[in-house]
Every structure is written in structure tokens, then in C-alpha cells.
Amino acid sequence: SRSINLAVIPGDGIGQEVVAQGLKVLSAVLPQDVKLETKEYDFGARRYHATGETLTDADLEQLKQHDAILLGAIGDPSVPSGVLERGFLLKLRFAFDHHVNLRPSKLLPGVETPLAGQPEIDFVVVREGTEGPYTGNGGTIRGGTPHAVATEVSLNTAFGIERVVRDAYARAQARPRKKLALVHKNNVLVHAGHLWTDIFAKVGEEFPDVTTEYMHVDAATIYLVTQPERFDVIVTDNLFGDIITDLAAAISGGIGVAASGNINPSGAFPSMFEPVHGSAPDIAGQGKADPSATVLSVALLLRHLGYEAEAARIEEAVSVDLAERVGASARTTDEIGDALAVRAAG
């Protein structure tokens, strides 16, 4: 009989509330014969304040036992900027080699967008997750003096680029339009840029039916707001991916509905699924958070584990629910979760 052994990390702020809805919907869609086991972990600001720890080797050993991880949100104003981000989120992405950071953007019917004319938006960003300027390389000399110098080093390897580029080509090939755009800044960041560009061209030979284009990251932000229908699959570096996926979320309904997967396609370590939004401490505990992004992240999780039909049912449920919101009165986090669970159960 089948089973899913899930690590659940509610985290900080609204994390608890939205993860509860994610689990509700997950239980509702799973076939009878699939045994769902969950184990909750208390990572985040509370644990950091209590113990000074963000993510220990022992924690990683435990998390490794699971089939996948569902995360709510990590981050709190009481913790200095960077501590939880680097000490937990990035540490986990690097430790579990989550090199495919998958961020779909789809503007669903009825959903508000800041763009005029309700454009067609349906693309996926494949953001590299383990290299680039995110490796923590760099340092400061003469800090606090007028002679301070700080560096940040972006590290890029053929190994790391090739695997994420190949993953992106495969995703593009599996979609009807079969289009893939490489986003970088190869006219300025020439070393990393040429490595990305060369590997992009070389791997492309294996996917002759995929149409490709190259775009500078600055130009990409223009096209995202003027011609978002142009995009199908985008592959890009860790930092550029961070920036353009927030913009992508903003134009396709906001971070309230933006899901993401931190995926290790090899399966050597569990993949992690999380909403793109943060912990939103200003609205935490008030039942105001939209759980849709977390519920859609559960769909990505199910698809990753091979439950395609169940993933599609969740996505359909969210789509219908969002369309029905137009003109309707606001519901609580819990009410939206209930509605999605009923609908996705089918």
C-alpha cells in the first residue's frame, strides 16, 4: 500500500494558519489507500529565540527521512534580517540540493492583476536554487570604517547550470507551446553569463523541438508587464529568479496565490514546497491570510510525488474558488480551506 511521510514546518506568522489548510486539502484529495503520516517541526523564530538554533545537523538527519516537506513561512521582525533566511531557508535548500526552484505563474479567471486588459499569463520559472550569488561567499574588511569594502561572490558551475537547464528544457518540451527563455545579464556579468549562454545552447541540441530565446534580466521585467503572454518556461539564475518570480507573482494574482517547489529531481533528498509569500506578521492569527498559495504548493508536492490527478483536482478547486470570490464577501483562512477541501475531494 502507498504512503506519504510528510515533514510539516508551519514556521512563523501566518505559516501555522495556511499550513493547516494545506494539510486539510491534502487529506481530502488523497486516495483511500494512501497512508498519510505527518510530523511537525517547530523551526523558525520561536525556536531560534529559545535555543539560538535555526537548523542543526540532527534536524537535517530527521528531515531527510521524509518523502517531502511542506513549509508555511519563516521569518519574524524580532530576528535580525538574514538570520532565519540564511540559517534556515537557504541552508535547507543547499543541504538538500534543491536545485530546481519551480515557480509557476498563471493568471486565473476572475483574479485581479495590476496589469490593464487582463492578459493571458501562464508560464513557469525554473530558478536555479543552489548557486549564483546565494552561496554566502564574500566578506567585509574594515567594516564600520570609511574604508570598508564588502564583496559578494557569485559562484556558477557547468554542473549546476547544466542540470537545471536540462530540467527546464524537459518542462518546456512537455508543454504545448514548447518555448524556453534564458534570462541573465550576459552583456555585463560576462563570465557567468557566457557559461549560462553556452550551456543553454549546447543542451538545446537535445531538444530540437523547443523554441528558445535569450533575454537580459532588465528587459525581462519590461516584457513581464507589457507582454507576459510571451513567456512559457523561463530558466534563470538564483538571484534573477528571486527578483522576477516576485514580479511574476505580482502580475498573476499576487503572492496570495503564488506557489513554489524547491525540488531535488534526483530524489536523493526530500523536496520542499512552500508559498512564495512570507510570514506576514501584521495579519498573523487573524484568519485573514489566503491559504491558496499553500494549497497550490500542496498540488506541486503531489505532482512531484506522482499524484497527478490529485494535483490537478486541487488546482481546479483553487481556480473555481478564486473565480467565485468576485463580488462575494470575504471569508476566513479556515473557510477558504474548508471550501477548497470539499471541492478538491471531488
Ligand X SMILES: CC(C)[C@H](C(=O)O)[C@@H](O)C(=O)O
- Residues at the binding site for NAD(+) are 278-290
CB of 299 to a copy of itself, least distance (A): 23
Reference 239, options 107, 136, 158, 169; nearest CA is 136
Determine the 3-state secondary structure of 88 from DSSP.
Answer: helix
Minimum CB distance to a copy of itself, residue 203 (Å):
12
- The residue (of 69 and 90) whose beta carbon lies closer to a copy of itself is 90
Q: Please tell me which residue in 76, 232, 242, 321 is annotated as part of the active site.
A: 242
In the three-class reduction of DSSP (H, G, I as helix; E, B as strand; rest coil), residue 23 is classed as helix
> 67 catalytic, yes or no?
no
Query: How far is 125 from 290, CA to CA, in rounded Å?
Result: 22
| Catalytic site includes residue 246 | yes
Site pattern 24..63 for a copy of itself (x: CB under 8 A): ----------------------------------------
Q: Give bridge partners of residue 216 from the DSSP assignment.
A: 184
Q: Going by C-beta distance under 8 Å and a sequence separation of 6 or more, which residues neighbour residue 99?
A: 128, 129, 130, 131, 160, 163, 164, 167, 263, 264, 265
Map the footprint of a copy of itself across residues 108-147, applying CB under 8 A: 113-117, 133-134, 136, 138-140, 142-147
Q: Are 73 and 11 in contact (CB under 8 A)?
A: yes
Please confirm, yes or no, whether 198 is among the known catalytic residues. no
Phi-psi category of residue 155: left, alpha or beta, with phi > 0 → left and psi -120 to 50 → alpha: beta
| DSSP state, residue 31 | -
Binding site for ligand X (CB under 6 A): 85, 89-90, 187-188, 218, 242
Q: Does 82 bind a copy of itself (CB under 8 A)?
A: yes
Q: Across the chain, which distance is largest between two alpha carbons, in Å?
A: 66
Smallest distance from ligand X to CB 74, Å: 8
- Which residues are annotated as part of the binding site? 93, 103, 127, 218, 242, 246, 278-290
Tell whether residue 148 is a contact of a copy of itself (CB under 8 A).
Answer: yes
Residue 245 is a binding residue for a copy of itself (CB under 8 A): yes
Give the shortest CB-92-to-a copy of itself separation in angstroms: 14
35 is catalytic: no
Choose from a copy of itself, ligand X, none: what does 183 bind? Cβ within 5-8 Å by kind. none
Closest CA to 234 of 187, 171, 301, 297: 171
**Given 39, 64, 202, 218, the catalytic residue:** 218
User: Using the rule CB under 8 A, is 205 a contact of a copy of itself?
Assistant: no
Residue 183 and residue 128 in contact, taking contact as beta carbons nearer than 8 Å: no
Closest CB to ligand X among residues 4, 183:
183
Based on the shown chain and the rule CB under 8 A, indicate whether residue 285 belongs to the binding site for a copy of itself: no
Among 122, 246, 334, 338, which one carries the catalytic annotation? 246
Q: Which of 41, 134, 169, 307 is catalytic?
A: 134
Q: Which is nearer to a copy of itself, 283 or 320 (CB)?
A: 283
Instruction: Cell numbers for 238, please give them.
Output: 538564483
Q: Using the minimum distance from each CB to ligand X, give the nearer residue, 151 or 187.
A: 187
DSSP output for 185-205: -TTTSHHHHHHHHHHHHHHHT
Given strand 100-106, what is the order of strands in its sheet?
Answer: 35-40, 3-11, 68-73, 271-275, 259-263, 100-106, 122-128, 233-236, 179-184, 211-216
Q: Can you tell me the distance from the alpha carbon of 4 to that of 35, in angstroms, rounded to the nearest whole number?
A: 6
Kindly list the residues in this chain that would bind a copy of itself in the complex (CB under 8 A): 81-82, 85-86, 90, 113-117, 133-134, 136, 138-140, 142-159, 162, 185-195, 198, 217-219, 221-222, 225-226, 239, 242-247, 249-251, 254-255
Active-site amino acid positions: 134, 185, 218, 242, 246
